[in-house]
Amino acid sequence: MTDKGKVYLVGAGPGDPDLLSVKAMRLLQTATTVVYDRLVSPEIMQCVSPAATQVYVGKTTGHHTLKQDEINALLVRLGRSGQTVVRLKGGDPLVFGRGSEEALALAQARISFEIVPGISAAQACAAYAGIPLTHRGLARGVQFITGHPREGDEFHLDHAALSDPGQTLVVYMGLANVSRIANELISAGRRADTPAAIIERGTTTRQRTLLTSLEQLPNTVRIHAVESPALLVIGKVVELAEQLSWFTPAVEDGRRRYA
């Protein structure tokens, strides 16, 4: 590896700055440059040193500030310039965050790097909504899937793998395909009345939790005008949200709502 600069691929968690690791906080306060995504909350960006250069590379559907290969090249270029670079990503960099692609680019360019884990949205958002991902008698396992296929790929769900009612299903980036996701899961054998939750802007003061059923999931998204970032949780464990809800967002518009 080159001894010039170093790139830290850092997980920022889903939004609450109190969920940052000690190492992540230290790096935000000492980095030369911070390259950050759209899903990194404004509250977390306030933790960045005022002396650091901030570079936004956020993506939305159909609009990328930089394409992924351009982000990879930017990180290589910054690393070669001798800087201490934080590549700040929402959630965990290796859970649907493309952090491994960026790490491979750095490794191939012989740029020194480290991966700093973050709390994934599935863990944190579900916990803040009072939903355990596993619970004895309700869910013996959990599956994470993405509802957004790679550009150019056809959207496809593995029906056999996702039909088990004993498995909680957490869908990242599922809003655009929510109707197809619900219909295909029901066709695969999931009961239409399976409890489901939508957690919008989880762990932040703008969190909104909508409790519904698998069959009504698309209507709930539409009626309540749910916006990204939002996580879908499907399974019997969602029933426990009524009893285990503990987090009250600080602003009225973000309070829990039920479908």
For the stretch 126-154, pLDDT in tens is 999 999 999 999 999 999 999 876 665 66
Take residue 102 and report the two structure tokens written for it: 């960026």
pLDDT of 192 reads 97
Pair (138, 32) in one structural domain: no
Pair (136, 252) in one structural domain: yes
Q: How much of the chain is helix, strand and coil, in % rounded to 5?
A: 30, 25, 40
pLDDT in tens, 188-225: 999 999 999 999 999 999 999 999 999 999 999 999 99
Take residue 116 and report the two structure tokens written for it: 């700093």
Pair (141, 100) in one structural domain: no
Residue ending a domain, among 92, 116, 140, is: 116
Contact 46, 88 (CB under 8 A): no
Distance CA 109, CA 117 (A): 22
Mean pLDDT value of segment 102-109: 97
Q: Is the pTM higher than 0.85?
A: yes
Take residue 83 and report the two structure tokens written for it: 């800087």
Distance CA 39, CA 49 (A): 19
pLDDT of 62 reads 56
Residue 64 has pLDDT above 80, yes or no: no
Distance CA 250, CA 71 (A): 35
Residue ending a domain, among 85, 116, 147, is: 116
What's the CATH number where 130 sits?
A: 3.30.950.10
Which residues form the catalytic set?
37, 59
pLDDT of 151 reads 60
Residue 119 has pLDDT above 60, yes or no: yes
Pair (47, 105) in one structural domain: yes
Q: Which domain holds residue 173?
A: 121-258
pLDDT in tens, 36-54: 999 899 999 999 999 999 9
The identity of residue 134, as a single letter, is T
